[in-house]
Amino acid sequence: MNFCSQCGSPVTVRVPPGDNLPRHVCDACGTIHYQNPKVVVGALPVWNEQVLLCRRAIEPRYGLWTLPAGFMENNETAAEGAVRETQEEAGARVELGPMFSFVDIPGISQIHIIFQATLLAPDFSPGEETLEAALFDESDVPWNEIAFRSVEFTLRKFFEDRRSGNYRLHTTALEIHPPLRT
């Protein structure tokens, strides 16, 4: 960031009074421009014994499989975002259940929130960001083609929970080495 979005004057990076981290601060109007993590929200849609996955038509990780998920928008709840992303990426209608996984990824300043979901009907179709959408049994999940570690973590915990009959919230922090720049 070079210029203030409030007044257009140059900004400098410094620790503002009362803070403990360097921030972009406007030299003219004093506005502090905070940069915060991005929130990714999504669903783990299930139809009978199968989970719905989407093969990505965009970077990063073009052509690999993921759960329907994406960046949360302003003025929506995490749950609303998960439903929206599932509709946009897979053309699927779901009934959301509880939050299933919460994954911190500090190296790229993101958090991923995935909700359990029931697919309301087995009719779905890929959206603009998806090459294909398909239902998978656990034994058929393309584990070597999963796009993101957070999705692999979520899927593995889901299948473990399903075998035990005890579903719960799963949390973890994943490091990305070297850290990616956003």
Domains of the chain, start order = 1-34 (2.20.70.10), 38-173 (3.90.79.10)
Q: What is the mean pLDDT of residues 84-92?
A: 98
Residue type, 111: I
Please tell me the predicted confidence (pLDDT) of residue 179: 47
% of the chain surpassing 90 pLDDT: 96
Mean pLDDT of the chain: 95
DSSP 84-112: HHHHHHH---EEEEEEEEEEEEGGGTEEE
Q: What is the dihedral angle through the alpha carbons of 30, 31, 35, 39, rounded to the nearest 10 degrees?
A: 160
Nearest to 79, CA basis, from 36, 126, 114? 114
By DSSP bridging, strand 32-33 and strand 94-105 are unpaired
pLDDT band per the 50, 70, 90 thresholds, residue 58: very high
The pTM score is: 0.89
pLDDT at 182 over 50: no
Alpha carbon 38 to its chain centroid, in Å, reads 9
Please tell me the predicted confidence (pLDDT) of residue 176: 79
